[in-house]
Structures are given as structure tokens and as C-alpha cells.
Structure 1
Amino acid sequence: MDIPASQIISVSLGTSDPDGVSIFSAPLGDFFPIIGDSFVILSTGLASSASLPNNEEGLSATLNGLNNSQGQDMVQMAYELQAPTGSTCLRFEFSFLSDEFPEFVGTSFNDVFTAEYPNSDITIVGNDIVAPLNFASDTEDNVINVNTVFGVFDNTGTTYDGSTPLLTATTPIDSTLPVRVVFTIQDMGDSFYDSAVFLDNFRWSFEQDCSQGSQLSTVRFTATSVDVAETGGTVTLTVTRIDGSDGELTVNYATTDGTATDGSDYVGATSTLTWANGDTSDKTLTLTITDDTLPENNETFTVTLSEPVTGESVDTATVTIIDNDDNGQAGSPQITSSTVNETAGTVTVTVSRVGGSNGELTVNYATTDGTATDGSDYVSASGTLTWADGDSSDKTFTVTISDDSQSEGNETFIVSLTDPVSGESLGSGTVTIIDNDSTLVTLASLTATGLENRVRLEWKTVTEFDSIGFHIWRATGEGWKYGDYSTVTRLTDQLIPAEGNSGAGASYSYIDYDVEPFVTYYYGLEDRNGVDQPTYYLDNIDSATVK
């Protein structure tokens, strides 16, 4: 998927069968890998079978683990990511492939692919998927299957009988929060005739307008972030064709101001790039950079590729102009706020010299607690940074991060800059520690027993840390395990107290009297930690029928 490791907070398959997921490191089909040397496959069967010859009569495999509310194979892969500061949009390329083509086009037996942000909210109504958070939809807002308006072609170069064209999925994001993206592929109607989705080239962008949905993939920038010196004169961006080589292809490009201004910092441009039939060579576009004499911070503008007919954005690149001007002043320090995973061990804090580089500049730094605590969440640091005359390079220092076992949510500490002589504040930045701990309760069992006019619940834990209590949830159908919450209610108004930090297990019981005879109820547990964060045990649902 080409996501930098530093941006990955967590990746989870939940209870999905790992055999439904594979990372391929060899070319497969017409398009993959798109960038780098590997890509991800999710499948309703064995993902490793994707490279088999296309001579099977209806390739089928039944997976273990997660099923949808119809009881059919379902594979989910959830990413939690830290987006670059200021990014507004995420994109990735994909193709949906299936052995249901062409026999089951237009029927209810259609496997389905969805990509959801910021969480998963999939329900099945009859034979239809309802996924309001899905952004991998086609131009008529349909989920992706063999009935998509994008069409399906044969001779896929894989084991599957049919494939969509290469598609790009896009959604706006909030980069101030962790970004959760859930990829799901599932059988519908039955578990026969496997399908798969190939995923690659996950990336962020900083464009002003970001439209949600999928469109045909045509081209992309080879680099979506480019730096150029203010004295460089020009900057060149490279665009590569990713839809194969059939037919003529045309794409428009246009520049848009960010903090850089067209006319004074660079020369804006709009034009067209064209590939002839059979042409797969890269195309370049060159833009003029203006070397002014004003001392400024580094400035940015964006270049957007768009479809010439629809005007839809295809890809964007951000150009950063590195300022070279000195106003004869000493300048001032400027600190950059940052985010770090609790497991990282250290965080590097960057301080820049802005507004000039004349003379020597010295600044003190020191950390103070925010919601994070010195000694348990991080190790306090203080010191001095010095720039020599003419030096405008960034300076850094390192703070140690402590990986505790407490589930406490994300926490922050402050880094303050002060004048070493007067003690005057020169600014501050915030470091956010992304918590990696869930409630540390190991649930051994949950048992529901149907009695006359009541249901008795009993559950046991193996270990408990940082737990303050349990809530009990009930439904009249087990579909809520897969995202159908229409019959779910919470039984308990008050928490059932837990052993907390005993480290040992405990036994609990609860009687549900609010029941009707001969009705089957499904029960699940919620645990709350010391900062009132919930953990839901959806893999330990049990049912009982009232007598």
C-alpha cells in the first residue's frame, strides 16, 4: 500500500481469516503493483490463489473467522493512521476482480468491496449493502461489484474471470485526528465463486476541494511533494500513465496558490498533457519559480491533474519553495508541534530559525506536562539550541517517550522556548503521544442461560488491569456483531464494578429480568477503563432462549 511506517498507528484484521489477505511482491494482472514492488490483496477466498492460471471452473474457498450477517465469508482490514499535518484528502488505487463474471452479473450473488472512513457502518438489507461511510463507490453511488457502472472486462491476467478497470478512490479527511480506514470484501447470497480486490498507492494530498467517490484511474504524479530552492528558477514535475496503453489519453493540469502567490512567488500555469495510443512514457511539466528579495517562510502551491471532460481531480502534488532571503535581522525561533506513537521510544522536536539569519541566535527549550506526566509518559528535557551567524538550518532535540501499559487515551506535553537572558517566552509547541493500549482485560468466557422469565449471565476474566467496570448489551439478533445495531440496547445504567488492577481474573454474574418467554436474546460485554474508554467484546457474544 506504500504507507510510510511512521504514519501507521495500527493495522488490524479483527477476526478475519488471515488466508483472505496477502501481500504480493510480483507483478500480477494488468496494473499491479502501481508503485513500489508490492501491493495488497483482500479476497473472499484464498488470497494466495490470485496468481493461479485462469483455468478453474468457478474458484471457491470457504474461509474461517469473520462472517457477515448472512453467514457468508467476510474479510476486513482496518488501518489507523496519522495523516500529515494539513492534509485534506486520501486516495488509493484498486481493481475489483471476481469469478462471478459473467454468469452472475445482475443477480443477488454479487460479492462486494467497500472502503469506509472514519469507521465501518455496513448493514445488509435483503440482498443490498447499506454502507453510508463507503467512499469507494462508483459514479452512481453504488458499492463496487460486478454490476458497477465502470464495467468489467475478461482476460485479467489472474485466476479471476473478470476485473474492473483500474480505479481511484478518494475521500476528504480531518488530519487533526487519527484517520481510520476500513477495507471490506464480502460474499453476498452464498460463499461460492471468489472475488478479490487489489489495493496500492495509498497517498495523502493537500488540495482545497476533495470529492468523495471512485473514478477511472488514468495518471498520477511520480512524487506528490516536491521541494525547490527559491533560486532554482524552475521546478519540474513528472506524470506517469497507469491505465495501460490503449487509446489516446489527455489530462489537464493547473496550479493553485497555497501560501505562495502566483505572480510574485511563482508563475501559475494551466495546460494539457497527452499520450498517444500505445504511449506509456512519462510526461513532464515545468513551472517557473520567482526569486524575490523578501524574507519569508517557505511557501507552497499545488498542481492538480484533472479529467478534461468532467473536471474531476485525478491527483495533486504540493510544491514547497525554500526561501533564501535574509532581512539583516537575527530572526526568531519557531517550534513545530508533532505527534508520536507511544511505542516509538523517542520523538524528535524541530525548531526553525525564521525571518533572518544575521548574527548568532540562542534559545533555551524545556518540557512541561500537559495531560502527559513527566516520568511515566515521557522523560522531561531541557537544553539550549544555537545558530551561528548566517545559519538558518533547522535544529532538533530528542525527548524520550515511555511505553506504559495503561489505557489512558492520547496525551500531550508542551515544549516551550525562552530567551536565555531575559527568560521571555519565544513560543511553544505541543507533542501528542498516541496511546497504544486498550483496556487490559482478558475475557475467558461469557455464558447466557435461559431460565423461566429471566436469563442468567456469567462471565470470567483471566486478567484485569485498569478496568473500572462492565456494561451489558443485548440484542434480539446477532447481526449487530457485524454492524447491524438496529435491535441493540444497553441493559445496565450503572457499571458493574470490576476487580480493576488486581492482575488476576474474577467471576461475575447478572440476571436479566426484562425478557419475554420463548424469545432468544444475544448478549455482549463492554468494559470501561480508568479514563472511561470502552472496549467491546464482540467475539464473545452468547445467546439464550427464555423458558
Structure 2
Amino acid sequence: MLRWRSLHALVLALWTGCSLSAQLVVGTALTPAQVVQGVLLGPGVTASNIQFLGDPDQLGTFIGVNSNIGLDSGMVMCTGDINVAPGPNMQGGATLGGGNQTGDPDLDAIIAPYFSRDRAVLEFDFIATGDSVRFTFIFASEEYNEYVCTAKNDVFGFFLSGPGINGPFLNNAENIALVPGTSVPVQINTVNIGAAGSAGGNPANCAAADPNWQANSVYFVDNANGATVEFDGFTVPLVAAAQVICGQQYHIKLAIADADDTVFDSAVFIEAGSFQSNAIDVSTQILAGGVDSVLYEGCGEAELILVRAGLLQTEDTVFLSTSGQAVAGTDYSAILSEVVFPVGVDSAIVPISALQDGLPEGIEQAIITAITQGDCGADTALIVFYVDDAPAIDILMAADTMVACPGDSALVQASVSGGFGMRQLSWNTGLAAGDNAAWVSPAQTTTYVLSVTDDCGQVTAVDSMTVTVPEPDPLVITAIPDTLVFCPESPVLLEAVVQGGTPGFQYAWSNGLGNAPT
């Protein structure tokens, strides 16, 4: 199986006009087949013969990123209308739709002698490429916390049947919705707040379901005053998993129902793309020096994230190889040829650094191939990213200028663009760092040099502007020669001759003789 991944986005179809407000968002626009094929399934699994039993509004999709449900998105199935799910939690026992008396025999077996009502059942055949399957789910109910430890509660189950499975339910199915690390089914009486409810709860009923029921409260979220989800309580994300034989056909039945009545709704949420086999899911996360799937040389840092599915009971090895225009070890850091997953470990991180090779090569594609070898053959995943030269920094400096006299003011300014991230501006003359414009009053001709770097730190742009201060010829004053007069108060013409300097002279004679040159 070959899978490409450079940028993965899951789009859930919701009703027209729905907005992503600060709460859980649900929608019923998809068919059951679209829910399974487009939302539920992840890598390593193919599905067929998809069927849904229930009212159309009992099955749909959800977006939980702005809620406290614990999953970003996926499918939701409810004992009533799924539109009961969005918060805030304004009711202790919300019910929307429902009223269907039809139940399910496997659910009846769990809650006997009571009967299931308002059943919703999504089932399909599937073939896995690995030796196990798993998916992530949450169970939520309006019967929390009042009906904890009562004799009857809403019920759900994930019933798996097929080769090698010999369980107590129809078609020898087994229920894989279990409390972590146990064979105990997840129910209101096995995963809850850890105390009997106010509506006739008896701790003995919970103890009969699981002697360790109070310890299971670590898997429970009390949502009594929740702002984004209506249900009074729900589990943390849990994993349903089972061993299978790769290449063989199995059947899964996802079922939920009210117990004996048709009120106080409950629901199961299953994470988008989490129904998967032992495939390796590969993605990248840029940490610094990049945008989207592009890393810049000399500063780009990213992580290659490998996540494996399955039961994690054995060691597993992923083999990595590289291809593309960008060369590992030259354009980006060398990549390990294999990554080993120890028992119980489901993820690994491989660091990637874009290297500065000093060559103006432009953008280059890099491909990392991850291969796992399973019983049914190899599973291959590809991750694509790009290595590019750090973006240039452009400086447009104002034209050189001249002032009339030393100390006159002039505006030094520059327009700066390009680069990556924040830019840092530095002047050679003591102007404030970071400023791209300043008034200056130089006493002599001065060149103002601006240096600009960015967050990448691989490129420095430099430009300058000169403010010229004129240097006139020396100012020389020549007066007429001394003059001899024979009579007191005889008029004499005094004259000063100026050479050099800058025109616009000002004269000052001693003895108050005025300010003219003669």
C-alpha cells in the first residue's frame, strides 16, 4: 500500500451556515458510507458492505477543536439526535429525538434482563494490512452522574468478529470497547466519577461490574458545568484494539442504545482517521526557519514524526530512504536508515535540519520514504517537504542629500522588505537600532550604513545614504589700507573686502558703525 502525504487536512461536511463557535460542532450531511470511508478509516484498512441501522440524525460528524470533548474531529453516533451534543450543558438529562423502541441483541445481552431502545448501529466488513486494528473513542452520557451504580444504564459496544475470534456475542464476536489494560467493558458503572449517583445508585452495582471501578475514575471527565458539550460526563479518549490476521475479512459492529427507556441521551465519538492497522503514519512539524512545508537553508528545523498503530506488543522497525532534488547530508541533515519502535512505544521523532551549502539553488524537493514489512507485504508512506535558499532582504535607501551648513537637519530613511520572520536593523552611526528613519544633524559629511538581518540569520543586507555637509573656502577679510587725515572729523571711506566663505555674509563694525561692508 502506497500513501503520499505532504499536507493532510480532514474536512467534515456540516449543514449550511454552521460556524465554528466555541463549542462542539456536529453535522449530518454525510451518508453512512461517507462517514466510514471519508472520516473514520485511517491507513492500513479497507472497508466494504457498510450498513447503518437507526434514524439518519443519529449518525454524523463532529468538530471538537473548540470544545473539551478531547478529540479534534471524527464521527459521532447517538441514542437520539446528535444535535443534542453541543453545549453548553444546560440540562441534567437532555433528550432530543429518539423514541424508537427497536434494540440490538448484542446490547440486550449486556444489559439483561433489560432491553435496549433507540439503537444506532454502524457496521461494515474490513480487511487490514497488518496484524492488528485500533481506533480511538469517547463514550458520553446524560446519565452521568445521577445514574452511576444503578441497575440499568445506557449501553454501547464495539463487536468484532472474524477469523480467530471466538467471543460471546452474535457471530462469535467480542466487545473491544474495554477499560484500558482489562477485559472489562466500558460502561457507566465501570468508568465514572468514582461515586454512586443520586438517583438510587448503589456501589454494589458498580463493584459487580468491576471491583476496581473507583480507580477507573482517571478515565472520566466530569462535565456537569461544561460550556462546550451538553453531556454531563464522558470518558477521556480510549483505544479499542484487537489482533487480526492480515488480508482476512473481519466484521465490526459499532452499536449504542438507551437501556429500557428512550430518554437521557448517550453518544460515542470516534476520532477521524483512527480506525487503522499496523501502518506507519508519517508527518512533519516545522519548528523554526520555515513556512508550510518549506525549510530555509541554515535555519530550518523540523521533526519527522512516525506513529505506528497496532497493539504495540512487539518491536517494530521502520526503514527510511531519501530521494528528490534535495540531497540528505548536503541540503538537509542525514537521515537514519531505520527507526526501531520498542515494545509499548507508538511514536518516534527524527530531527531534520536544512543545511547552508552556500549555493543559490532555489527550491528543491525532498522525499523521505518510510517502509514497514508486515505479514501481508510492505506498507510504504511518503513525506514530501522542500529546502529553499533563505529569502533575500531588500533595502531601498533614500537618495544621498546635501545640507546647507554644518548642523542642519536631514532625514535618513530606508524601506526594508523580504527576509524571514522579524527583521533586525542596525546603523553604524549610533542611530537607534530597529529604526528605519531618523532626523540627523551632522557637523560634517557622514555616511549612514544600515545592516539588516532576519530570524533566519543567513542573509545580511547592507545599504547606505550619505549626507553631505559643504566645506567652503576659508573666510578672508581684507580692509583698505590705513588712511591719514589732516583735519579732525574729515570723512573717510572704510571698506571690507570678503573672499571665500559662503555668500550671505554678516558684517559687524566696531564702534557701532553698522553692518554693511562699507
Structure 1-normalised TM-score? 0.38
Tell me which structure has the larger Cα radius of gyration.
2
Of Structure 1 and Structure 2, which has the larger fraction of its residues in strand? Answer: 1
Higher RCO (CA-CA < 8 Å; seq separation 6+): 2
Of Structure 1 and Structure 2, which has the larger fraction of its residues in helix? Answer: 2
